[in-house]
Amino acid sequence: MPLNEIFTFRNYILYDISQIAILLFSILFIKHFLNITKADKKLFYLIEVIKVMAIIDMLLTLYFSHSVLTRIIPVFLPVWLVITEAKRLLPRKDKAFYFFYYGWMMVIMMGVFVYSNLTSYFNMDFPFLHTTFAL
């Protein structure tokens, strides 16, 4: 975990808040990139529920000193849910949508790879998730 190298006192509050911020900003990016409005009812309300849950979890993190939501649900699952629902529900799919979709699927697959701790199994010490985000 890169935060352990920067903050040697293992600041888990900062780590949990950064995970929630990744979720929140990813959802907001997806919403604006795909131009999801209230006309796309199901997808719009799904995003709103995830946003509210993320904000509540951020407040709970400040109160309890650890995240509640990200301890139960990995951060990439809500993003995966929104992207797959967008593919299923949105009628307008152009070439940019498919580049967007497959790019996020790469990020989510790498998230699964890192979350399941397969990097330590293969004795790899490389920031796969950070590299995928950059791509």
Give the other-Cβ count within 10 Å of 104's Cβ: 22
Burial class (CB in 10 A: 0-12, 13-18, 19+), 124: exposed
Residues found in the chain: 135
Residue 46, pLDDT score: 92
- Report whether pLDDT(9) > 50: no
What's the pLDDT band for 16 if we cut at 50, 70, 90?
Answer: confident
DSSP state for residue 10 in the 8-state scheme: -
Alpha helices in 65-94 (DSSP H): 69-72, 76-89
Domain with 130 in it: 2-134
Domain count across the chain: 1
Mean pLDDT of 19-23: 86
Average of per-residue pLDDT values in the chain: 79
Q: What is the pLDDT of residues 76-134, one digit of tens each?
A: 888 889 898 888 888 877 888 888 888 888 888 877 777 777 666 666 655 655 666 66
